[in-house]
Structure 1
């Protein structure tokens, strides 16, 4: 059998030796030598993973997909050789992990960007939004990006141009057309449903019944300010040149997988093609600014 999916609930709770056995992961050696390549993610219930697994089987690559229930554990598991590669995060998240954990996990291939968008119930453009109070996510990963969405929309001016992760304190309120109010990311949809404009994470749109196409503005994936939010395949430096891992990353770009990703994202995911060297340069810049 070429494909096995492991529900890694135990791995999300404890990175103990017992968990290693439970996940069927034997440390040591090159990935794929004498066992499957172990891939960690947090969204393995999505159809694209089944499409991807079928392609890997056709290629004769033995894989084991390990599902994690939280966002920090897949990087911990990778750093501790419980898995060989993971695919669940963007470069900004990876940079924060590496700096906070003194780790050196490395991106090897880009996948897609999920644009972050501004919504305003009953409106289909930015017309009339001047003077409004806009809710934005207050978590460290998305707050700065949300502010830059408003910068790109011409609604907010920063005291210093080009900040990758600005905070509300960086906003020049007198020069801006709107004000911002940080709230819990899960509450942004509720603010929108009350009739107020809000920047809402892609993951909260479906559960709130909000059509992504109703966005009145979203960040441009080709803009430099969006680079930190490129989603990536990530591995350790020792495996950064592993041919089978790179082949798996290439399979994710297969049209059948990309079609499934687009369907799962409600039409919002945008495929990204950046070289391994470009991704590392972006990561290095993000880590430098975070230190």
Structure 2
């Protein structure tokens, strides 16, 4: 974990400890405090609708906006169009900040979502033929995690110095001469009919009708000890708003046993709460 990542993780603990500090929340015409959150899957909407109901009892009016990719929710928070988002892990957040001169920061953990290898053509990853094509996400963080998944299966070997942001150029051994194709993460599930296998994020897998625990050839959370903390998903906002009292109320409303039960039901146990 690099120094900036350590700083992000440390700042998260600091911001969570600031729940009693004064915020700059906006009040609606009904007297409730209005907050908007961006998500990137139907499952997320389902869980957050429940959180919204509980927040209403605490005087917070939550608006949920669903996006279709991993870029727009961060741009929307950065521009001030929405207040929070909840769709990404820490590694992706750091990469976005670096690439977009962003200042977004995590204010609470949500869950760990597995990354899975899926196929319509084989039932065991060991049966992938020489020259098989595998689709992976094309963003640095999810792509790097996908390559680490393939390495854990012995399908490729990565340069030891590559770390969590490995790219195709870091592949040092590829004994099966696999053709690894990078595409937008939101499109990976749709490629299954056209490739031998695909590495797919859980939200896009479930939105396409796949059940990760039943349909994946392998989930990287099958060996949870090897899943780096930077792959924990978070609620994020602008750094200047990290101590906003109302936003921290949203975090507290999310981090409950009720939400954990909803995640269990909505994701068939695939998403694991990460706030404990």
Query: Does the alignment reach a TM-score above 0.5?
Result: yes
- 2:7 aligns to what? none
Cα distance in 2 for residues equivalent to 1:207 and 1:84: 25
Structure 1 191/79 Cα, relative in aligned 2: closer, same or farther at 3 Å? Answer: closer
Structure 1 121/103 Cα, relative in aligned 2: closer, same or farther at 3 Å? Answer: closer
Q: Does 1:169 align with 2:166?
A: no
- 1:44 offset after TM fit, Å? 7.8
Structure 1: stretches of 5+ with no match in the other structure = 1-28, 275-291
Select 1:36's aligned residue among 24, 27, 33. Answer: 33
- 1:183 offset after TM fit, Å? 4.3
Structure whose CA Rg is larger: 1
Structure 1 160/271 Cα, relative in aligned 2: closer, same or farther at 3 Å? Answer: same
- 1:259 offset after TM fit, Å? 2.4
Which stretch shifts more, 163-172 or 244-253?
A: 244-253
Cα distance in 1 for residues equivalent to 2:50 and 2:215: 29
- 1:54 aligns to what? 53
Cα distance in 2 for residues equivalent to 1:106 and 1:37: 20
- TM-score of the superposed pair, with normalisation by structure 2: 0.73
- 1:66 offset after TM fit, Å? 4.2
- 2:219 aligns to what? 218
Aligned to 1:155, what secondary structure does the other structure show? coil
Retained in 1: the 8 A contact 2:33–2:246? Answer: no
Retained in 2: the 8 A contact 1:137–1:183? Answer: yes
Alignment of 1:111-190 (within 5 A): 111-121=110-120, 124-129=123-128, 131=130, 133-141=132-140, 142-161=142-161, 163-173=163-173, 176=175, 179-185=178-184, 188-189=188-189
Cα distance in 2 for residues equivalent to 1:207 and 1:124: 21
- TM-score of the superposed pair, with normalisation by structure 1: 0.70
Cα distance in 1 for residues equivalent to 2:194 and 2:99: 37
Retained in 1: the 8 A contact 2:38–2:65? Answer: yes
- 1:196 offset after TM fit, Å? 2.2
Aligned to 1:210, what secondary structure does the other structure show? coil
- 2:257 aligns to what? 255
- 1:31 offset after TM fit, Å? 1.4
Structure 1 191/178 Cα, relative in aligned 2: closer, same or farther at 3 Å? Answer: farther
